[in-house]
Structure 1
Amino acid sequence: MGLKGEEMEFKGDELGLKGEEMEFKGDELGLKGEEMEFKGDELGLKGEEMEFKGDELGLKGEEMEFDGDKLDLEGEEMEFDGDKLDLEGED
Structure 2
Amino acid sequence: MTVPEYELRMKAYQLQMLDRQYEIHMQAWANVMAGQTKKGRPVFRTFEKFFNYRKAEQKILGKKQKQPSDTKNLQNWIANFNS
Regarding TM over 0.5, the answer is no
Q: By percentage of residues, which structure has more helix?
A: 2
The higher radius of gyration belongs to: 2
Normalised TM-score (structure 1)? 0.23
More strand by share: 1
TM-score (norm 2): 0.25
Larger relative contact order (Cα-Cα within 8 Å, sequence gap ≥ 6)? 1
